[in-house]
């Protein structure tokens, strides 16, 4: 049945509304980062303005640590993403191919762990991390971020690997392939889409995460969200232009990445949904 013009217009209007609702705050942040400081909160708002890089210059001069923190964010995000993807691909493969009561129990445990609010484990962990001398290191954040995403990503990977015919592996076994060869030459290439989808979740989380970074870092491993929080908490008035410039720089890499891999993200979210 063909869609009527009214229905079609209604759908488009709804989509436009959702796009504006979600995109407008981001657009305001990005545009404001190019406004002269006194025009950012002018009333009535100024829609036309001469763009300036003044806020970015001020960010470089007054908050050099922001760029070190961005570097830290990059290290932690990359580390956590790689670790999670490797671990969950292997775990997903096992859950997809092996059936046992112990495995079922461990799967249940993973779901339970996922349900634990991070703050519950975070504070008791502080003295332990301190004792292990892992405080203020990238390692502790990589381990924590990976830990909290192992359960979700394992299930995503299991759903993907479930869709790979077992016959392909059987053929590889007949050709003399071992487990690692099967993983490397059969599973990984076919599950790559799932790996990208799974990595996106942990990547976005790690890039934006605040609580763990706040508790376990001091100077060396401080990530960008902590600096943004400091900017908001200025006691002598927030420098909105500088804050918006920093927020734009913080937003940009993740936005580019998500746009580039969006089809895999959708695939990841719907993985296994058609299985009967």
Partner 1 sequence: MTGTATKLGLMASALAMTLAAPAIAQDKPENLTIIAHRVHQTVATAEGNDITANWQAENGVGIEWVTLDTGALHERLFRELQLPETTIDIAFFLNTHAVESVTTLLEPLNAHQAANPVEDIEDIFPGLRDAMTFNDELYGIPFRHASSCFHYNARLLEEKGIEPPETMEELIEAARALTFERDDGTKVHGFLINGLGYANTVDLARAWNGDFITLDYEVATTGEGMMNAVQMLRDFYEEGVMPRNWAAIQDEEVNTWMQTGRAAMTTTSCGRNRIYNDPEKSEEAGNIKTVALPVAAAFKDQFDVAPAKVEFWTMVIPANSQNKDLAWDLVRTMASKESTLMAALNGNGPVRASTYDSPEMQEKLAYAADEKAVLLVGRVPLPPFDNAAKASDIFVEELQAAVLGMKPVADAMESVKTRVEPLLPQ
Provide the binding-site residues for partner 1, judged by CB under 8 A: 36-38, 41-44, 123, 126-127, 130, 214-215, 218-219, 226, 229-230, 232-239
Listed as own residue / partner, the contacts of 51-58 with beta carbons closer than 8 Å and 24 or more positions apart are: 54/241, 55/241, 55/242, 55/244, 55/245, 56/245, 58/239, 58/241, 58/242, 58/245
The residue among 159 and 231 lying less far from partner 1, judged by its C-beta, is 231
Cβ atoms of 91 and 248 closer than 8 Å: no
* Paired tokens of 83: 């670790």
Distance in angstroms (rounded) separating the CA atoms of residues 40 and 56: 14
CB of 56 to partner 1, least distance (A): 15
The residue among 76 and 243 lying less far from partner 1, judged by its C-beta, is 243
CB of 226 to partner 1, least distance (A): 8
CB of 24 to partner 1, least distance (A): 20
* Paired tokens of 128: 């332990």
The residue among 21 and 43 lying less far from partner 1, judged by its C-beta, is 43
Whose structure tokens read 């889409």? Answer: 193
The residue among 35 and 158 lying less far from partner 1, judged by its C-beta, is 35
The residue among 112 and 128 lying less far from partner 1, judged by its C-beta, is 128
CB of 80 to partner 1, least distance (A): 22
The residue among 120 and 123 lying less far from partner 1, judged by its C-beta, is 123
Distance in angstroms (rounded) separating the CA atoms of residues 137 and 219: 9
Distance in angstroms (rounded) separating the CA atoms of residues 3 and 216: 55
The answer, yes or no, to whether the previous bond of 44 is cis (omega within 30 of 0) is yes
Cβ atoms of 76 and 138 closer than 8 Å: yes
Give the end-to-end CA distance of the chain in Å, rounded to a whole number. Answer: 28
CB of 121 to partner 1, least distance (A): 15
CB of 219 to partner 1, least distance (A): 6
């Amino acid at each position: 049945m063909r869609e009527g013009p009214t229905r079609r217009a209604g759908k488009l209007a709804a989509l436009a509304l959702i796009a504006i609702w979600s995109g407008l705050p981001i657009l305001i942040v990005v545009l404001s980062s190019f406004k002269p400081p006194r025009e950012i909160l002018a009333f009535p708002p100024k829609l036309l303005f001469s763009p300036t890089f003044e806020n970015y210059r001020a960010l470089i001069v007054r908050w050099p640590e922001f760029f070190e923190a961005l570097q830290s964010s990059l290290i932690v995000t990359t580390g956590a993403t790689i670790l999670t993807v490797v671990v969950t691909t292997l775990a997903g493969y096992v859950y997809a191919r092996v059936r046992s009561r112990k495995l079922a129990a461990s799967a249940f445990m993973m779901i339970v762990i996922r349900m634990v609010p991070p703050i519950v484990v975070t504070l008791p962990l502080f003295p332990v991390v301190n004792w292990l001398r892992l405080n203020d290191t990238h390692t502790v954040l990589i381990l924590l971020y990976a830990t909290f995403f192992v359960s979700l990503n394992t299930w995503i990977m299991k759903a993907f690997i479930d869709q790979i015919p077992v016959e392909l592996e059987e053929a590889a076994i007949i050709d003399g392939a071992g487990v690692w060869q099967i993983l490397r030459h059969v599973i990984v290439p076919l599950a790559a889409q799932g790996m990208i989808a799974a990595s996106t979740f942990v990547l976005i989380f790690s890039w934006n995460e605040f609580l763990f970074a706040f508790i376990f870092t001091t100077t060396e491993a401080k990530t960008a969200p902590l600096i943004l929080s400091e900017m908001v908490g200025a006691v002598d008035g927030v420098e909105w232009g500088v804050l918006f410039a920093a927020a734009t720089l913080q937003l940009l890499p993740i936005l580019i990445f998500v746009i580039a891999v969006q089809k895999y993200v959708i695939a990841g979210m719907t993985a296994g949904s058609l299985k009967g």
